[in-house]
């Protein structure tokens, strides 16, 4: 396990996250993830994220009503940069935190290239299986 440092584009928010890109990352083809170009690293411990600066600059996407999904997507309210997602889903074992990989600072390019990527088929509510096409993600 490593401790990564991350931040938003404007520098208002900084954080630390405990995880390992080598354990795998995920991209998804659902409508939200496609629009956000989401690429995440799930932290082994949901509490493994610490805000170092900018708590007052954080904003969240509103929860979609009626979808039954407890997820809060966090971004910088000043520059709009995606940062992390927190939620609670039984299918993921309960509480979780997923960090937006592009928000991580100073990760060597070789480590990003080597990180395994699972392409979830969220567009068909088949999250646990690979998407048939991934080139557009």
Going by C-beta distance under 8 Å and a sequence separation of 6 or more, which residues neighbour residue 44?
1, 18, 19, 23
Minimal CA–CA distance to 47: which of 106, 101, 95, 3?
95
The residue assigned the tokens 């979808």 is: 67
Burial 64-74 (b: 16+ CB within 10 A, else e): eeeeeeebebb
pTM above 0.85, yes or no: yes
Minimal CA–CA distance to 56: which of 34, 41, 37, 78?
78
pLDDT of residue 67: 60
What tens digit of pLDDT does each residue of 63-84 get? 755 566 678 899 999 999 999 9
What tens digit of pLDDT does each residue of 40-66 get? 999 999 999 999 999 999 999 887 555
Classify domain 2-130 by CATH architecture: Beta Complex (2.170)
């Amino acid at each position: 396990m490593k401790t990564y440092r991350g931040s938003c584009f404007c520098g208002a928010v900084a954080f630390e996250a405990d995880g390992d890109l080598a354990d795998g990352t995920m991209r998804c083809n659902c409508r939200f993830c496609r629009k956000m170009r989401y690429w995440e690293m799930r932290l082994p411990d949901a509490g493994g994220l610490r805000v170092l600066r900018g708590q007052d600059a954080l904003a969240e996407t509103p929860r979609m009503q009626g979808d039954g999904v407890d997820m809060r997507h966090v971004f910088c309210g000043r520059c709009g940069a995606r940062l992390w997602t927190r939620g609670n889903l039984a299918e993921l074992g309960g509480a979780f935190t997923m960090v937006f990989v592009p928000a991580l600072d100073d990760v060597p390019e070789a480590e990003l290239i080597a990180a395994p990527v699972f392409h979830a088929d969220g567009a068909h509510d088949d999250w646990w299986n690979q998407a048939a096409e991934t080139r557009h993600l």
